[in-house]
Amino acid sequence: MATNASHLGGPIDDATPTSPAPTASGRRRTGTAGRHNGRVPESDLHPPVLRWYAEHARDLPWRRPEASPWSVMVSELMLQQTPVNRVLPVHEAWMERWPTPADLAASSTGDAVRAWGRLGYPRRALRLHAAAAAITERHDGVVPAEYADLVALPGVGDYTASAIASFAHGRRHVVLDTNVRRVLARAVGGVEFPGASVTRAERDVATGLLPDDEATAATWAVATMELGALVCTAANPRCAACPVADRCAWLAAGRPAYDGPPRKVQAWAGTDRQCRGRLLAVLRDADGSVHRSALEATWPDVAQRERCLASLLDDALVARTGPDTYALP
């Protein structure tokens, strides 16, 4: 079985990378990536962060030595903008039902959407189903280890491909989720939050921080991710418990407040996302087709409800089974 380096999860990821792909070189870059404004060399972050992770890493099923690359891949899709505590029971049920990509590929997309439950962003279930079919057809049912093969799968972008290669196969890749980006922005960049999207300079710093050894690089990736999730959090960071507090540029600067563009805050009440969720819940709980009248009872705003139903049909999350009846695909 391939090496499984543990991980946490990451942001929503589409099929088209929005930032340059990680370098395949086994060498760290020099220059500003090796030292930040004359302060502590960034490689000095490695020992305390790795020691902290060895002591504080959470025991998660996709992190265990016996976890398969498929388990890691499923967790990656599920953890995109979804808390670990919500993912755990769904991941367990999913792996019991579909322990391999071929098992999922043999089921319908409707089964995948139903099993996705209330995790949100149900298109991820369709992406995972499509990726499972591609893995079965192109890779004999085995989740590939190479970045190029992973990023070529349906619904797999740069972050997800890098994360699977690193966490499931122990490969050396830059893995930049929101937690890692925040840790590096504070410890190295001296700012409270990173920008809205990954920049080349940000990726260069992250690449320069990667240990040369593949296994250590994979552990470093998950360790910084875990540090951001548990200590260097977006709100109320626990700097007193941070293993690199004595060399953090942001802390040394007095924790200056973020002064960039307004950060997006996700709304829920009254949004199309909530409306789509209500409609899907009715179909997910039904044994067969559902009459339009049952959907109409879920949302009072007619125009919004019809718009959301049309979008669910366009996304192939819902199928029309008759003039006025609908079901999961």
* Residues forming the active site: 76
327, burial (CB in 10 Å: exposed 0-12, middle 13-18, buried 19+)? middle
**Closest to 5 in 3D by CA, of 77, 54, 78, 49:** 54
Quote the longest CA-to-CA distance of the chain.
69
b or e along 211-240 (b: 16 or more beta carbons within 10 Å of the residue's beta carbon)? Answer: beebebbbbbbbbbbbbbbbbbeeeebeee
**N-to-C CA span, the chain:** 34
- Rounded Cα–Cα distance for residues 284 and 113 (Å): 8
- Coil, strand, or helix at residue 314? helix
* Number of helical H runs and strand E runs in the chain: 15, 3
Question: Who contacts 238 (Cβ-Cβ below 8 Å, separation ≥6)?
Answer: 231, 232
**Please, which residues bridge with residue 325 across strands?**
291, 322
Q: Backbone phi, then psi, for 322, in 5-degree steps?
A: -170, 180
